Amino acid sequence: MPVRFPLPSLPSSKARPTTHPCPSYTPPPTSPPHQRRDTRQSAPPPPTPERTMPSPAALTYGPIFIGVVLNILLYGIMITQTYLYFNVYRKDRLWMKLFVALLFLCDTLNCAFDITFLYIPLVNNFGNDSALMYASWVFATDPVMTALIGSLVQCFFAWRVKVLTNSWPAVFFIATCAIVQFCGGLGTSIAVGMIPEFVHFQKFEVIVIVWLAFSAVADCAITVALVWHLRKHKTGFAATDDIVNRIIRLTVQTGLITALCALVDLVLFIATPAGLHLLFNLPLSKLYTNSLMSSLNSRSGWRYGSGNGETTSDENNRTDHARHLSTRGETRRVSMMPPNQVYIDVESHEMVDVIDGKVLPGGAPLASMPSRAYSEKGGRLSAPNRSDSF
């Protein structure tokens, strides 16, 4: 019977040593059997947009740059207006010429200060962002210069209201508003010198409101007083009323422009913390001077009705008081209406035979007729004085 010898037991896999020949070897962590390892690659997170801060130059110096450009453009118009005034109205009073020269000097200084203010931070301090946050003393001169020019122009129109209407209450009201708005502009310049940071300009908004609000009120008062007086004194004659209507339109346009610009400047200053209001504030002084000069230089159009010194056929039919002759560029005003005479414009379509130049259709000579004169140019008849003349 065969004998079975017991086989030696082999070591199980659990009993095998787990040591690695390399002592620094670290086995990878084993995941639990109940979790499945996700081997898919996850999508990268979307890139976060960078927060870009607007340039400090764009916030404040953008409107300032545009305002200075408009200021210089209006200054060019002022140069032309001043040149025309001193060449055409050489017989004006001396004080009026000195007044125009003073306004032109103030406009020139205002333009020079504005250009200097832009040059210092944008050229001398190029790349220095901190220099863009502050207003220099040159910028502080703009409010007081604008208020000074505006008050001078408003006082001139107050004098015109006094001459036309002889209404002292209206003159006193306009002059008071002009003085108050000048004080407001002076206070604004002082406040800018004390608080030069652009972001802190809202701290002195009360004095700015006084300045711009009273400026707009004075402009509106001047416009209302002049328009009311002119409309009240219309004569009913076409030629005179046409001149009055032109004066009314010019008065409304010039007064409305300055008043609206001051109001928009005030609203933007209160509503927006940025420097957008400077877009309307910087050209305001030139609007005042140009409105005054346009009023002074338009007097030739009111007086003569034609800029070249000659009347057209339409003006001959509408004008009742004067004709204008042009001799080698020199304009002369020739009165065509004797005392107590009425001029009647007629159109003649009658065919007549002329014998020796001066014979009427009935054969009677022209000299034998009553005192009527006929002018072939323009078809104008001058009627003799009658008790029922109008």
CA-CA-CA-CA torsion sign (114, 116, 119, 122):
negative
Domains and their CATH numbers in the chain: 56-304 (1.20.1070), 338-390 (no CATH)
369 pLDDT tier (thresholds 50, 70, 90): very low
Q: Which residue has the higher pLDDT, 122 or 265?
A: 265
Over the stretch 374-384, which tens digit does the pLDDT of each residue have? 334 444 444 44
Average pLDDT, the chain: 73
Share of the chain above pLDDT 70, in %: 62
| pLDDT above 70 for 308 | no
Write out the chain in H/E/C secondary structure. Answer: CCCCCCCCCCCCHHHCCCCCCCCCCCCCCCCCCCCCCCCCCCCCCCCCCCCCCCCHHHHHHHHHHHHHHHHHHHHHHHHHHHHHHHHHCCCCCHHHHHHHHHHHHHHHHHHHHHHHHHHHHHHHCCCCHHHHHECCHHHHHHHHHHHHHHHHHHHHHHHHHHHHHCCHHHHHHHHHHHHHHHHHHHHHHHHHHHCCEHHHHHHHHHHHHHHHHHHHHHHHHHHHHHHHHHHHCCCCCHHHHHHHHHHHHHHHHHHHHHHHHHHHHHHHHHHCCCHHHHHHHCCHHHHHHHHHHHHHHCHHHHHHCCCCCCCCHHHHHHCCCEEEEEECCEEEEEECCCCCCEEEECCCCCCCCCCCCCECCCCCEHHHCCCCEEECCCCEEEECCCCCCC
Confidence (pLDDT) at 103: 96
Confidence (pLDDT) at 250: 76
370 pLDDT tier (thresholds 50, 70, 90): very low
Confidence (pLDDT) at 276: 86
| pLDDT above 60 for 91 | yes
Q: Which residue has the higher pLDDT, 38 or 242?
A: 242
Confidence (pLDDT) at 205: 87
Over the stretch 127-161, which tens digit does the pLDDT of each residue have? 777 777 778 888 899 999 999 999 999 999 999 89
What is the pTM for the complete model shown?
A: 0.64
| pLDDT above 60 for 358 | no
The Cα-based distances of 310 to 7, 125, 234, 346 in angstroms read: 145, 58, 26, 21
Over the stretch 268-299, which tens digit does the pLDDT of each residue have? 988 887 778 889 999 999 999 999 998 899 87
Over the stretch 13-24, which tens digit does the pLDDT of each residue have? 555 555 556 566
CA-CA-CA-CA torsion sign (315, 317, 322, 324):
positive
Q: Averaged over 176-203, what is the pLDDT? A: 90
Residue 126: CA count within 13 A, CB half-sphere: 3
Confidence (pLDDT) at 33: 56
Q: Which residue has the higher pLDDT, 257 or 358?
A: 257
Q: Are 90 and 137 in contact (CB under 8 A)?
A: no
CA distance 200 to 135: 11
Q: Averaged over 341-366, what is the pLDDT? A: 48
| pLDDT above 80 for 72 | yes
| pLDDT above 50 for 164 | yes
